[in-house]
Copies of this chain bind each other. A is one copy, B any other.
C-alpha cells in the first residue's frame, strides 16, 4: 500500500516528466531503480501511455566500442530529429564503471539538447530485478516521448545478456580483433542478436571478421538455448560500422528501423515485449515477496523463522509453509 504521505508524488513526477521536466524524469528513474511506492504510482499512470518507442538493446564483450557506437547512433538519430534516450547499465565493478563513465563524456555535447537523455543505471544490487528495473525505466522514457530508447549493457553476465534480450531489437557488437571470442559469444550473446555489428570497421581484419561471423551464423552453429521461443530472423544480419568515424552508422539505423517496422506489422505483441511484461510482473512479485517478508509488521516473525532454519531446527520448506504469504 502506498502510504498517504507518498501519494501524489508519483503522479506529480509523472505529469512533470511527461511535460518535459528532465529533473522529474531523473527522479522518477531513481524511484524505479530503488523500487519505491512513488515508482509504482507513476508507472501505473505512465504505462498505458507507453508502447510507441523502439527499445534497442546493445551488448557485446568489453572492448567492442559499444559506447562509441551508441554515441554515433544518437548523433545519427538526432540528424533525423528523433528524440533519443540511453540507459547505460554499468557493471557492478567501480573499475569498469569508471571507464564507462569516461565514454559518457563523449555525450556531453547533448547536455543542452532536450531531445537526448542519458542515464546510467547500476547493475549491482538489483539481484535479478535488473530486467524489471530496466523494463520499467524504458516504459517511463517511452511514455515521455522518446522515439528510441537504447539500453547499453556489457555482455559478460547472465543478467546483462537478459537485459539486452528484452529489447525490441538487440544488437551484439564486437571488434574485428575479437575473432577468438567468437566462441565465447556463441555461448550466450549471439543467441539474442537481431543484428550483429563488427565495429571499428576501420581496423584491419573487419571484413574477415564479418565474413567469419556470417559463415558461422549461416551454418546454424548458434543454438537457441537461452530463449528458444523468441521469433527472430533465422540469421541475424551482420553489419560493419565504425562508431569512431561514423561509417556504416546510417545503414545500422536503417536496419534498426526495418526490424522495428517488421515487428510492428505483427498482429500479436512481439515476443520481446512479452518478455518485458513478464520481467516487470515477476519483478513486482519479487518486490512484494520481499515486502511481505521484511515489512515492519512481519519482520520479527520472519527473523525468528530464519533463525530456526539457520539452527537447523526447522527446514526451509516448513518455514515457508508457516509464512503463508499472499502477494
0/1 interface trace, chain A 38-69, chain B, CB 8 Å (1 if under): 00100110011011000000000000000000
Q: Are A280 and B316 in contact (CB under 8 A)?
A: yes
0/1 interface trace, chain A 65-93, chain B, CB 8 Å (1 if under): 00000000000000000000000000011
Residue A216 is within 8 A (CB to CB) of chain B in the complex: no
> In the complex, how many angstroms separate the beta carbon of A251 from the nearest chain B beta carbon?
30
Q: Of the candidates B157, B288, B316, which one forms a contact with A320 in the assembled complex, judged by CB atoms under 8 Å apart?
A: B288
Residue A106 is within 8 A (CB to CB) of chain B in the complex: no
Q: Which of A40, A95, A283 has the most CB of B within 10 A?
A: A95
Residue A285 is within 8 A (CB to CB) of chain B in the complex: yes
Residue A234 is within 8 A (CB to CB) of chain B in the complex: no
Q: Are A281 and B307 in contact (CB under 8 A)?
A: no
Residue A327 is within 8 A (CB to CB) of chain B in the complex: yes
Chain B residues with CB below 8 A from A310, complex form = 269-270, 273-274, 276-277
Residue of B nearest to A49 (CB): B312
> In the complex, how many angstroms separate the beta carbon of A65 from the nearest chain B beta carbon?
21
> In the complex, how many angstroms separate the beta carbon of A80 from the nearest chain B beta carbon?
24
| Cα of A15 to Cα of B311 in the assembled complex, Å | 22
Chain B residues with CB below 8 A from A277, complex form = 306-307, 309-310, 316, 319
| Cα of A274 to Cα of B303 in the assembled complex, Å | 9
Q: Are A317 and B284 in contact (CB under 8 A)?
A: yes
Residue A211 is within 8 A (CB to CB) of chain B in the complex: no
Residue A128 is within 8 A (CB to CB) of chain B in the complex: yes
| Cα of A233 to Cα of B158 in the assembled complex, Å | 33
Instruction: Label chain A's interface by main secondary structure.
Output: helix
> In the complex, how many angstroms separate the beta carbon of A34 from the nearest chain B beta carbon?
15
One complex includes copies of this chain to the number of 2
> In the complex, how many angstroms separate the beta carbon of A26 from the nearest chain B beta carbon?
21
Chain B residues with CB below 8 A from A288, complex form = 320
Instruction: Please give the number of chain A residues whose Cβ is less than 8 angstroms from any Cβ of chain B in the complex.
Output: 61
Chain B residues with CB below 8 A from A326, complex form = 324-327
Chain B residues with CB below 8 A from A40, complex form = 317
Residue A278 is within 8 A (CB to CB) of chain B in the complex: yes
Residue A265 is within 8 A (CB to CB) of chain B in the complex: no
Q: Of the candidates B51, B127, B311, B318, which one forms a contact with A312 in the assembled complex, judged by CB atoms under 8 Å apart?
A: B51
Given contacts A269-B307, A281-B316, 12 further A-B contacts (CB under 8 A): A50-B312, A51-B311, A93-B184, A93-B188, A124-B188, A128-B128, A270-B310, A280-B316, A281-B319, A286-B289, A320-B327, A325-B326
Chain A residues close to B by CB (< 8 Å): 40, 43-44, 47-48, 50-51, 92-95, 123-125, 127-128, 136, 157-159, 183-184, 187-188, 268-270, 273-274, 276-278, 280-286, 288-289, 293, 305-307, 309-313, 315-320, 323-327
